[in-house]
Amino acid sequence: MKELAKNALAAKDFLATVTTEQKNRALSAIASALRNDAQSIISENKKDLEKGREAGLSQGMLDRLMLDSGRIEDIALAVENVARLSDPCGVVLDEIKRPNGLVIKKVSVPIGVIGIIYESRPNVTADAAVLCLKSSNAVILRGGKEAICSNTAIAASMRGALSGCGFDPNCIQLVTDTSRESANQMMQMSGVIDCLIPRGGKGLIKSVVENSTVPVIETGSGNCHIYVDESADIDMAANIIFNAKTQRIGVCNACESLVIHSGIIKKALPAIKARLDEKNVEIRGDERAQAACRGVLPASEEDFGTEYLDYIISVKTVDSLDEAVRHINKYSTRHSEAIITQNEKNAAEFLQRVDSSSVYVNASTRFTDGGEFGLGAEIGISTQKLHARGPMGLRELTTVKYLIYGEGQIR
Which parts of 344-363 interact with its own copies (CB under 8 A)? 349, 351-353, 355-363
Listed ranges 118-126, 156-164, 237-245, 276-284: which one lies at the site for its own copies (CB under 8 A): 237-245
How many beta carbons lie within 10 A of that of residue 167, not counting itself?
Answer: 23
Which parts of 163-192 interact with its own copies (CB under 8 A)? 190
Which parts of 240-259 interact with its own copies (CB under 8 A)? 240, 242-244, 247
Minimum separation from the CB atom of position 102 to its own copies (A): 6
Minimum separation from the CB atom of position 330 to its own copies (A): 9
Listed ranges 231-239, 269-277, 300-308, 309-317: which one lies at the site for its own copies (CB under 8 A): 231-239
**Contact criterion met (CB below 8 Å) for 380 and 392:** yes
Residue 390 as a binder of its own copies (CB under 8 A): the answer is yes
Minimum separation from the CB atom of position 161 to its own copies (A): 25
Name every residue whose Cβ is closer than 8 Å to that of residue 19 and which is 6 or more positions away in sequence: none
Q: Which helix (H) or strand (E) holds 382?
A: strand 380-382
**Binding track, positions 261-300, relative to its own copies; x by CB under 8 A:** ----------------------------------------
Which parts of 194-223 interact with its own copies (CB under 8 A)? 194-195, 209-210, 213, 215-218
How many beta carbons lie within 10 A of that of residue 309, not counting itself?
Answer: 17
Q: How far is CA 343 from the centre of its chain?
A: 32
In the complex with its own copies, the residue whose CB is nearer, 146 or 218, is: 218
Q: How many residues bind its own copies (CB under 8 A)?
A: 71
Name every residue whose Cβ is closer than 8 Å to that of residue 279 and which is 6 or more positions away in sequence: 242, 245, 246, 311
Beta-bridge mates of residue 107: 92, 401
Which parts of 45-64 interact with its own copies (CB under 8 A)? none
Q: Which of 102, 181, 202, 250 touches its own copies (CB under 8 A)?
A: 102
HSE (side-chain half, CA atoms, 13 Å) at 360: 25
Which parts of 296-335 interact with its own copies (CB under 8 A)? 325-326, 329
Minimum separation from the CB atom of position 87 to its own copies (A): 14
How many beta carbons lie within 10 A of that of residue 202, not counting itself?
Answer: 12
Task: State whether the Cα torsion 215-217-220-222 is positive or negative.
Answer: positive
Which parts of 10-29 interact with its own copies (CB under 8 A)? 12-13, 16-17
In the complex with its own copies, the residue whose CB is nearer, 28 or 329, is: 329
3-state secondary structure (DSSP) of residue 155? helix
3-state secondary structure (DSSP) of residue 131? helix
**Contact criterion met (CB below 8 Å) for 252 and 272:** no
Q: Which of 52, 112, 122, 220 touches its own copies (CB under 8 A)?
A: 112
HSE (side-chain half, CA atoms, 13 Å) at 102: 12
